[in-house]
Chain A
Amino acid sequence: METTYSSLNKDRLIELFHREQKSMTELATPLVNRIRQHALSRFEKNGFPSKQLENWRFTDLTPLLNTEFFFDFSNKSRSMDVEKIFTCDVYDLDTFSITLLNGWFVYKSAPLTKLDNGTIIGSLAKAMEVYPELVDQYFGKAAKTDVYELAALNTAFVQDGLFIYVPDGVTLEKPVQLINIVNADHPVFLQPRHLIIVGKGSKITLVHCDHSLTHNVSFTNILTEIFAEDNAVVDHYKIQNKGRNSALITNTFIRQKKSSSVYSNMITLNGGFTKNILDVSLPEPNCRSEHFGLYLVDSNQHVDNQVYIDHIAPDNYSNQLFKGILDDEARAVFSGKVMVRRHAQHTVAHQNNKNILLTDDAKANTQPHLEIYADDVKCSHGATVGQLDPEAMFYLRSRGLCERTARQLMMIAFAGEVVQKISIQALQERIQHLVEKRLKGELSICDQCMLHCNSKEPTAFNIDMSKI
């Protein structure tokens, strides 16, 4: 059943919840439904985040909600042949690939696959039916719905998304790739929910691609919970290439058990409005947690990265490096906070945000922040906002490079520092290629789309020489 509203606000969503409650709750476990009810009451209390909040000071959701959105409470796309409409540029990697279309799981044979090594990959909705104890053991344990308004909203409406369970002592040789596609001929409001559980000493690489195949307005509010058990190693890559009219909010909650390592890398190539919220809890010692981000934005695109790393236990290492290049009137926001609690001795935490503005109209707001209550720690933070170094530009030109080539070379080098953090060689090369295409003005959201709708979005990041 589809429902539409001329514009969205808290009251309308709550009304919608009560009307559609049955179709949501009948697929979920009783525990998930109790968590859902709690989240709903939080959303009822807090509503959408307002600009009065510190973490939303420079990012305004209001104009994005002013649209006639359609909601879909049943899976209409599950047996669609996605390859007919889309091929991912990272696709030719040898991956275990999964597609979500408009927030719903698309499958050819079965909604849930159990591999020989015990790994379960598939639809969260199906997992709640087949493995309810497993889902109940983890669901909602990392997502802080009391603190994050949009995490509460996602949890209240949870239906489907990706479920991965890797049992203890299993290394998944192939990366798991999740392709999240938005394609609808009307504005859609989507809230996929992912639950990733990585057992003791296990290893997984997750590649998460967000695409939109439509020029229509869409609003996606994704929530991902990642649990890394003792000694687990998780590599989490996100590649975002979405249209000008899309709003994408990602809420990622990571909980690390002792001696685990989690690496994440968020690459925002295109997107009308993007907000990535990352919340990492380190309640046990000897963990590594490294988070990198790259955003390449132009026209009036808006990208906001908000990171919170909570050092609760001693002897943990965390590192953040977020870099961005902004063209035209693009806007970037970074707010990173590292919390070092009283018992978190010997914490090592680094945080850095670097921005290059190509025009006078581009704007970056950056707020690195450390809050330290332990006395024996090593922490650093830094932020820069600047232009391409004119001395370096002249140096390159004095060797015969034209201004355009010199700029591209320097931008690719600037972005390279983040791309080089990708540990899988083949993936690194693919992403480097995408980043280079993007910075040369050759990549639009239409490149991978097979629909040929004849309304190609301009391949921006074109350097307008008249502005220099």
Chain B
Amino acid sequence: MPSDTVAVIGGGPAGLRAAQTIAELGHRVVLIEQHHELGGRPIQENYAGITPHGEPAEPLLRRMAELVTTNPLAEVRLSTEVIGVRGEPGDFTLTLESVAGTETLDVGAAVLATGFQHFDPGRETQMYGYYEFPDVIALQDLEGMLKEHKVVRPSNGETPKKLCFVQCVGSRDRHIGNEYCSKVCCGVASKEAIEVRQLLPDCQVYIFYIDMRMYGYWESQIYWPAQEKHHVQYVKGIITEVLPKGDKLIVRGEDTTMGRPMELAMDMVVLSVGMEPSAGTRKMSRLFGVAQNKYGFVRAASSPLDPVSTSRDGIYACGAALGPADLEDAVSSGSNAATKAISFIRTRNAVAEGRDAVVTG
């Protein structure tokens, strides 16, 4: 009899929710995480607060992980990588590698929750000087500072008096090849802008954007308070380049709606970097034999109505392995992929036993 176990690859928010769902529905789940701890990007990259409301990220993620680690049906393998996949839908054998050596794991289905990585702003948007000027940082770098409640200029340790965000860095760009919107950066930048204003009331904060994409409740949860309560300055006009003048950084753009050029001296520039498929997403897609879209994310074969099935039966994907996703997207698709994987195994068993399938489609 093939295994009823489901493998979940990746222990970030989506993978944690997938593993929790599988175990709560009564199936054995093995969660495989290449790092030494669970939590994914929010933990690895020291996110301060969760978007939209800014509640501290670390305790929330730790609690999410506990729901998995304390469930007797769930087994967590940390510092472990999948290096081989054999078999066929319904009866896969994974080869796992850790410091303890390699071993095999039989599973009936697998969920890829391998996530994203932050766009590397040196990759092509070089004119922002991320690797040249200490005071040019990225969203996640500022998260790390906010988590410590200490936002200072990396160049000299001083408190910034003027700080700006540059949106769409590495997203919506034909040259870079990332033609998609990364979905969360408008919200995350605005959330961070609010946090900077709260921490440093004397620091002016600007956000230079192409379009402000605050869909749904983010409008009233983030955008309006940022403008109305925290006086964050939103300017439609994207920055063309960042260069130093004295110990300041000059940002240059067009204030398009005012119809005038702008050249402002900043103490810090925060690049709102977008999402790209993580190395793990690229690697696991190849290993599990599932199709990727042109950007390297896992291709959802029957999107939009079935956003978690891949090109291969028995393999599902969730979270930012499928493309840019916020936390709500990630955990929703985590549960979705979990139920699809369980349905797949139950259908397989029903067919094997000559019963009617419990689900179809």
* Bound pair (A, B): no
